Amino acid sequence: MKRFNVAVLPGDGIGPEIVGEALKVMKAVGKKFSTEFVAAEALVGGASIDAYGKPLTDEVLKLALGSDAVLLGAVGGPKWEGLDYSIRPERALLALRKELGLFANLRPAKIYDELIDASTLKPEVIEGVDLLVVRELTGGLYFGTPKGVEKLPDGTERGVNTMVYTTPEIERIARVGFEVARKRGKKLCSVDKANVLETTELWRKVVINVGKEYPDVELSHMYVDNCSMQLIRNPRQFDVIVTENTFGDILSDEASMLTGSIGMLPSASIGSDKNRAMYEPIHGSAPDIAGKGIANPIATILSAAMMLKYSFDMNEASDLIEGAVERVLARGFRTADIMQPGKTRVSCVEMGAAVLKELGN
Ligand code: NAD
């Protein structure tokens, strides 16, 4: 029997509801593969502020650092919006990412045939889309120095941000891109603006060098402006996209909206250390529907599937979960957010149960 320790941080709003269903699915799949997931649950975000006065306690950070992976629901809500930024629920996520050394954000965007109408794009454009954006998370414009706004002698102001990347920073994110591509369709598109920005000229050079270690992965390059067009013109051409922080922020949101359904999209944040990773849905805590039992747990269930693939090398188990989700949709089960005429409306718990049933439970 294999064992993995998972820190489970449900957070706020719909967090506890959706994480509860994902945990059931993980445990059921674990049994099939003689693997035990030992879940240690703890408070984070607003729930932690209410109990301990801060969004992330040292104990919970220690728990996350000592686990094989973290499963997170979502944090935040109107109750904590008036608080100072330094103790807002979202601070917990930033602190966790920093302390766990998570420099790569993985966001898949997959179109389910059954939900093709949820997209704003034409079905013939998005049918079969299955891509993943790897975004660098800790460097580039958002962190580079010098930064800030200064007053000039003539009374005007000057704002500065700096896009900085070093060779090691590019190498490590490129490696994530290649490794992820290896687990998928073996195609990697590196996105830069090497025709204008020297930083990304270096980016391209380093990615090409790292690519020599991955002859089985087909590497291509694309300028970011072209990529933003290609994502809506012909998104099927992409398997894995790897890009720097700011470009990735924008492109991953654009890619996720190809699908049109926020309750379906998982994400992973990973680092160099195999035992440090955090998995969470891309949506927030949805305070408007919290406690009503109608949240869609699929994004969180698919986040758990990503955990199995990327943290525990359980590809087959991960595919099993994805297959079960597809079949549940094909059977016509829908939570309120993805409801369509003629389909069967189910609650959060019922959706979880439907996935479990597909897994033979
Ligand atoms: P949100 O993603 O929580 O909700 C946007 C809309 O989508 C809402 O109408 C909500 O009901 C719906 N929705 C989201 N997830 C759903 C699901 N699984 N099933 C069904 N419907 C779903 O974004 P928001 O309303 O802008 O933010 C609410 C709170 O969440 C804020 O406090 C925000 O700061 C926080 N937030 C947290 C994270 C995170 O924890 N990673 C991310 C984004 C927002």
pLDDT, position 4: 98
Catalytic residue, from 130, 142, 186, 337: name it.
142
Choose which residue among 85, 97, 137, 262 to substitute to test ligand 1 binding: the one with the highest number of ligand atoms within 8 A of its C-beta.
262
Cis peptide before 146 (omega within 30 of 0): yes
How many CA atoms are closer than 13 Å to the CA of 81, on its beta-carbon side? 5
Q: How much of the chain exceeds pLDDT 90, in percent?
A: 93
pLDDT, position 86: 83
- Note the Cα 228 to chain centre separation in Å: 19
**What six digits make up the tokens of 348?**
């959060």
- pLDDT tens for each residue of 283-339: 999 999 999 999 999 999 999 999 999 999 999 999 999 999 999 999 999 999 999
Q: Is residue 223 flagged as an active site residue?
A: no
Ligand 1 and 299: CB distance under 6 A: yes
In whole angstroms, what is the distance from residue 100 CA to residue 72 CA? 14
Nearest-10 crossing angle of helices 298-310, 315-330: 160
Total-model pTM: 0.93
Nearest-10 crossing angle of helices 348-358, 298-310: 40
Between β-strands 277-281 and 266-270, what pairing exists: parallel, antiparallel or unpaired?
A: antiparallel
pLDDT, position 14: 98
pLDDT, position 158: 97
Residue 116: pLDDT band by 50, 70, 90 thresholds? very high
Among the listed residues 104, 97, 120, the one whose alpha carbon sits nearest the alpha carbon of residue 241: 104
In whole angstroms, what is the distance from residue 301 CA to residue 4 CA? 17
In order of their start, the domains of the chain are: 1-110+262-361 (3.40.718.10), 120-259 (3.40.718.10)
Asked whether the predicted pLDDT for residue 361 surpasses 90, the reply is: no
In terms of DSSP H, where are the helices of 155-216? Answer: 167-182, 198-211
Q: Is 232 helix (H, G, I), strand (E, B) or coil?
A: helix
- pLDDT tens for each residue of 6-63: 999 999 999 999 999 999 999 999 999 999 999 999 999 999 999 999 999 999 999 9
Amino acid at 350: E
**What six digits make up the tokens of 12?**
């706020």
Higher pLDDT among residues 181 and 84, named by residue: 181
CA of 224 to the centre of ligand 1 (A): 28
- φ and ψ of 129, to 5 deg: -65, 130
In whole angstroms, what is the distance from residue 205 CA to residue 189 CA? 14
Query: What is the chain's length?
Result: 361
- pLDDT tens for each residue of 15-24: 999 999 999 9
Between β-strands 187-192 and 218-223, what pairing exists: parallel, antiparallel or unpaired?
A: parallel
> Which residues is 135 bridged to in the sheet?
105, 243
Q: Is residue 85 flagged as an active site residue?
A: no
Asked whether the predicted pLDDT for residue 118 surpasses 90, the reply is: no
Ligand 1 and 267: CB distance under 6 A: no
Residue 356: pLDDT band by 50, 70, 90 thresholds? very high
Q: Are 261 and 249 in contact (CB under 8 A)?
A: no
pLDDT, position 85: 82
Ligand 1 and 19: CB distance under 6 A: no
Q: Are 139 and 164 in contact (CB under 8 A)?
A: yes
pLDDT, position 142: 87
Asked whether the predicted pLDDT for residue 260 surpasses 90, the reply is: no
Average pLDDT on 196-218 reads 98
pLDDT, position 274: 86
Amino acid at 331: R
Amino acid at 142: Y
pLDDT, position 131: 97
